[in-house]
Amino acid sequence: MRKCYAEQILSGEKVREYRPFTDHWAVRLCEFDDPKEPDLVTGLKHYDRAHFFPYNKNWWLDVEITDIYLCTVNQDFIEDFESEVTAKVGDDIFIVSLGKVLGYDGIGDRRK
C-alpha cells in the first residue's frame, strides 16, 4: 500500500479499500467449497483486520475490517465511486469496508 492511502485511512478520509477479482485476490478472499465445481465461489472469507505495509516495510497500519463484498461494476457504481477506484463496467472487484484503526507505526503525526 502507498503511504498516502494509509494516511487517508488513519485520518478517516478513506473508509474502503478495493482489490480486483484476480486469482491472487480470489484465493485470499473467497471460499471454494463445491466439490463438483472447484472454481465456483461459494462465499467470502471472514477477516477481522487488515495489515497494510509497503514493500520496504518501514511503516505499518492495522485496520478493522467490517465487511467484504464482491461487486460487478456497473455505471451507477462508476458514478458513485470513480474518485476512489479505477474500474470499468463489467469488472468484478472486492470492496473491503474499513473500520477503526487498531494500530500503526511510522505514519501520521500521532504515535501508538
Q: What is the pLDDT of residue 109?
A: 59
Spatial CA neighbour of 49 closest among 66, 72, 71? 66
19 burial level (CB within 10 Å; 0-12, 13-18, 19+): middle
Which residues of the chain register pLDDT less than 70? 109-112
Q: What is the pLDDT of residue 112?
A: 42
Rounded to whole angstroms, how far apart are CA atoms 2 and 14? Answer: 13
